[in-house]
Amino acid sequence: MNANNLAALNPTAGQSSPLDQLADIHLPPPVASFPWAPGWWLVIAAIIFVTLAAVLYLRHYRRKNAFRRAALAELFALKAVENNQEFAQQLNQLLRRVALHSYANKNIAGLSGDKWTDFLYRSCGDKPAFTDTAMEAMLNAAYQSAAQSLPRDVLIAESTVWIKRHRSHHV
C-alpha cells in the first residue's frame, strides 16, 4: 500500500482531531452566599421575632408568679415549726397573704370562718384543693390552745396545690 492509499483510508491521519479543537467546558461562577434572597431575610426576621416574644412572655410569666415561688418556699419552711397551734396560725396567715396578693380587688381581709373556707374551696376551680377534715383541723388548731394532732403533711400538700392552682383575674 502506498501513502496515497493510506491517506484515503484515514483522511485525518496527518491532521489533528476535530475534538482537539473544542474548548474545555466552562463552569459557571460559584453561587454567592451573600446577599441572600428576600425570603431568607423574612425567615430570619420571623425567627428573631418569635424568639424575642417567647423570651418576653417567659420573663413576664416568671415575674408574675414570683409570689407563688416565695409562698412555696415559706410553706416548706413551716415544716420546722414544732407547735401545732403556731403551725396552723402561720399556715393560715400564709394562705391569707397569698389570697390578698392574688385577689387585691376583693374583700379578702374581712373573711373568716365559713366564708374564708368557702373562698379557699371556690378559688381553686372545680376541684377544691382542701379537704373538709384538714381545713377544720387547721382552723381549730389555729384558734384553740389545746389542739389535737394536726395532719401537717396533708395540709402542706393541699396548701401547695392551692398555691400553685388558684387563679384570679388580677394575677
In a domain, 61, yes or no: no
Report how far residue 55's alpha carbon sits from residue 59's, in angstroms, rounded to the nearest whole number: 6
Q: How far apart are the first and last CA of the chain?
A: 110
Q: How many domains does the chain have?
A: 1
Q: What would the grid cell of residue 137 be? A: 383541723
In a domain, 100, yes or no: yes
Phi, psi (rounded to 5 degrees) for 76: -70, -25
Report how far residue 161's alpha carbon sits from residue 132's, in angstroms, rounded to the nearest whole number: 15
Residues 110-122 pLDDT 10s: 888 888 888 888 8
What's the gap between Cα 1 and its chain centre?
95
Q: Which of 31-45, 49-63, 79-93, 149-163 has the highest mean pLDDT?
A: 49-63
- The single-letter DSSP state of residue 127 is S
Report how far residue 121's alpha carbon sits from residue 130's, in angstroms, rounded to the nearest whole number: 7
- 112's enclosing H/E stretch is none
In a domain, 113, yes or no: yes
pTM surpassing 0.85? no
pLDDT the model gives residue 170:
45
Report how far residue 164's alpha carbon sits from residue 11's, in angstroms, rounded to the nearest whole number: 97
In a domain, 31, yes or no: no
Report how far residue 121's alpha carbon sits from residue 116's, in angstroms, rounded to the nearest whole number: 9
In a domain, 117, yes or no: yes
Rg of the chain over all Cα atoms, to the nearest angstrom: 41
* Res 92 pLDDT > 70: yes
Query: pLDDT tier at 171 (50, 70, 90 boundaries)?
Result: very low
Domain residues for the domain of 158 are 66-165
**Residue ranges of the alpha helices (H) in the chain?**
3-9, 38-64, 66-77, 84-102, 113-122, 132-143, 152-165
Residues 5-54 pLDDT 10s: 555 555 555 577 888 888 888 888 888 888 888 999 999 999 999 999 99
Residues 120-150 pLDDT 10s: 888 877 777 888 888 888 888 887 776 577 8
Report how far residue 146's alpha carbon sits from residue 73's, in angstroms, rounded to the nearest whole number: 28
